[in-house]
């Protein structure tokens, strides 16, 4: 299925191609060489618009299609969806699939609104929160002013900016990986960051978020709460006072449904209406019948969701302590992952050593965080195995370095 975002990109880019006169010549040999070198996965083509030839796409974490690995690399939930969700999904796999789904996913929006004490019109749903975020960039951030996000954050944000031709400013995080509010320019085309932040797990309290909203009332502030259920407090309570606040959440993490692709946004009616205009200009049916049913039940099954979150939070705290005992620096996290570093180990080699021993974690080849690994939290058994393997690696390989 072509998602709304793909459709928008195609249309936006075909427009840009006309403006650019279909040229493949950047007039910058250095840049051309750099792109060719870095983009070995996708060679360039004279048939693509300039913007596509230049684009560095987001790189998703490895998704091996076999069960050989203990997967601690893409922040999935180690627990299955609730039995009630599976039952709904099975029932939705019926002859009714010949009919289009509800374009407005009313049942799901009602369930989310009820859960958070909002009206259905304050809720927008999409094909994963990545789609919701991309639509939000086009709807709310495409202005003459640059959008602001921290220099270390969810790496899809720069990709959306490049794709939709939006400028950005990226204030640096502090040495402790915190967002420094004083570094956020007062006049911008909008602000976005995850809370807790990806890829660090650092959480910002509601008081600070309120200050950002207060100081930036002329632009939209998007709080990406992909990981909020693992110990943070959602800023939903701020919605009635701040019409410039949009909250984006996903069912991929805390509700064990990464494979179903469902995300949502909550905000003032003006923001939600804008998102609907864009969505309905490209793809009226981003969620299929199965996704609507499964996601609705996942929102309703509060007891199961809370049980899984508690187990993951406990496993995270246990893992953080165990890693600190092995002399790791562990960034304080309220997410379902830990961002960690060991002074005696190079991040990339540790990632490779773990992979050789059947454990996948995430390493980011970016300045400032090269020596860090991001480790998703699995079950307590998974984390026990992870810590034991790390211990072995450090003793075997790096023990002699100390």
Ligand X SMILES: Cc1ncc(COP(=O)(O)O)c(C=O)c1O
139 binds ligand X (CB under 6 A): no
Whichever of 3 and 53 has its CB closer to ligand X, that residue is 3
Longest dimension (CA), the chain: 65
Whichever of 342 and 374 has its CB closer to ligand X, that residue is 374
150 binds ligand X (CB under 6 A): no
Which of 252, 254, 333, 336 is in the footprint of ligand X by CB under 6 A? Answer: 252
CA angle 356, 61, 259 (to 5 degrees): 115
The region of 111-119, 126-134, 139-147, 388-396 touching ligand X under the rule CB under 6 A is 126-134
Whichever of 53 and 252 has its CB closer to ligand X, that residue is 252
* 89-97 long-range contacts, CB within 8 A, separation 24+: 89/260, 89/290, 89/293, 89/294, 91/293, 92/289, 92/290, 92/292, 92/293, 92/294, 93/290, 96/289, 97/289, 97/290
Q: Contacts with ligand X: how many residues (CB under 6 A)?
A: 13
Minimum CB–partner distance for residue 264 and ligand X (Å): 9
Whichever of 246 and 387 has its CB closer to ligand X, that residue is 246
256 binds ligand X (CB under 6 A): no
Total Cβ atoms within 10 A of residue 144: 6
Binding-residue pattern over the window 51 to 80 for ligand X, x denoting contact by CB under 6 A: ------------------------x-----
Binders in 75-114 for ligand X, by CB under 6 A: 75
Whichever of 49 and 74 has its CB closer to ligand X, that residue is 74
Q: How far apart are CA 382 and CA 77, in angstroms?
A: 12
129 binds ligand X (CB under 6 A): yes
Binding-residue pattern over the window 153 to 182 for ligand X, x denoting contact by CB under 6 A: -x----------------------------
Which of 104, 224, 229, 301 is in the footprint of ligand X by CB under 6 A? Answer: 224
Q: Enumerate the H helices of 21-82 as residue ranges.
A: 29-38, 50-54
Q: Say whether 264 sits in a helix, a strand or coil.
A: strand
Whichever of 129 and 216 has its CB closer to ligand X, that residue is 129
Q: Say whether 363 sits in a helix, a strand or coil.
A: strand
226 binds ligand X (CB under 6 A): yes
* 318-323 long-range contacts, CB within 8 A, separation 24+: 318/380, 318/383, 319/375, 319/377, 319/383, 319/386, 319/387, 322/383, 322/387, 323/387, 323/390
Q: How far apart are CA 186 and CA 219, in angstroms?
A: 10
Q: How far apart are CA 213 and CA 72, in angstroms?
A: 34
The region of 31-39, 103-111, 124-132, 213-221 touching ligand X under the rule CB under 6 A is 124-132
130 binds ligand X (CB under 6 A): yes
The region of 122-130, 174-182, 280-288, 371-379 touching ligand X under the rule CB under 6 A is 122-130
| DSSP labels, 127-182 | SHHHHHHHHHIIIII-SSSPEE--SSS-THHHHHHHHHT--EE-PPPPTTS---GG
258 binds ligand X (CB under 6 A): yes
Which of 8, 123, 147, 198 is in the footprint of ligand X by CB under 6 A? Answer: 198
Which of 78, 81, 101, 128 is in the footprint of ligand X by CB under 6 A? Answer: 128
Q: Is the dihedral of CA 75, 310, 307, 288 positive or negative?
A: negative
Whichever of 140 and 226 has its CB closer to ligand X, that residue is 226
Query: Helix 347-356 and helix 380-393: axis angle, to 10°?
Result: 120
Binding-residue pattern over the window 261 to 280 for ligand X, x denoting contact by CB under 6 A: --x-----------------
Q: Are 259 and 362 in contact (CB under 8 A)?
A: no
136 binds ligand X (CB under 6 A): no
Under the rule (CB under 6 A), what is the footprint of ligand X?
75, 128-130, 154, 194, 198, 224, 226, 250, 252, 258, 263
């Amino acid at each position: 299925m072509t998602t709304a975002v793909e459709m928008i990109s195609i249309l936006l880019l075909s427009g840009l191609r006309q403006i650019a006169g279909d040229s493949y010549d950047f007039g910058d040999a250095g840049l051309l060489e750099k792109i060719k070198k870095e983009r070995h996965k996708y060679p360039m083509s004279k048939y693509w618009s300039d913007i596509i030839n230049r684009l560095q796409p987001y790189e998703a974490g490895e998704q091996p299609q076999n069960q050989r690995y203990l997967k601690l690399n893409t922040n999935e939930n180690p627990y299955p969806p609730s039995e009630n969700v599976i039952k709904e999904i099975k029932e939705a796999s019926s002859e009714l699939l010949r009919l289009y789904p509800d374009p407005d996913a009313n049942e799901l929006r009602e369930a989310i609104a009820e859960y958070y004490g909002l009206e259905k019109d304050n809720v927008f749903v999409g094909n994963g929160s990545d789609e919701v975020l991309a639509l939000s960039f086009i709807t709310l951030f495409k202005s003459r002013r640059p959008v602001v996000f921290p220099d270390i954050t969810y790496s899809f944000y720069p990709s959306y900016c490049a794709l939709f031709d939006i400028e950005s400013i990226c204030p640096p995080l502090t040495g402790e990986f915190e967002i420094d509010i004083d570094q956020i320019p007062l006049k911008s085309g909008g602000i976005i960051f995850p809370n807790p932040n990806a890829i660090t797990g650092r959480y910002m309290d509601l008081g600070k978020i309120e200050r950002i909203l207060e100081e930036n009332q002329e632009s939209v502030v998007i709080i990406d709460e992909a990981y909020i259920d693992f110990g943070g407090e959602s800023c939903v309570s701020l919605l009635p006072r701040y019409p410039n606040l949009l909250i984006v959440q996903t069912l991929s993490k805390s509700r064990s449904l990464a494979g179903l692709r469902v995300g949502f946004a909550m905000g003032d009616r003006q923001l939600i209406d804008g998102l609907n205009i864009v969505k309905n200009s490209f793809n009226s049916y981003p969620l299929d019948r199965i996704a609507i049913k499964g996601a609705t039940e996942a929102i309703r099954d509060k007891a199961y969701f809370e049980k899984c979150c508690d187990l993951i939070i406990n496993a995270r705290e246990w893992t953080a302590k165990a890693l600190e005992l092995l002399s790791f620096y562990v960034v304080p996290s309220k997410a379902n992952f830990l961002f960690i570093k060991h002074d005696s180990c190079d991040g990339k080699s540790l990632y490779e050593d773990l992979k050789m021993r059947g454990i996948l974690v995430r390493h980011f080849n970016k300045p400032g965080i090269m020596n860090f690994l991001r480790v998703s939290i699995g079950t307590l058994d998974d984390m026990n195995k992870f810590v034991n393997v790390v211990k072995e690696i450090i003793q075997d390989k790096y023990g002699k370095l100390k």
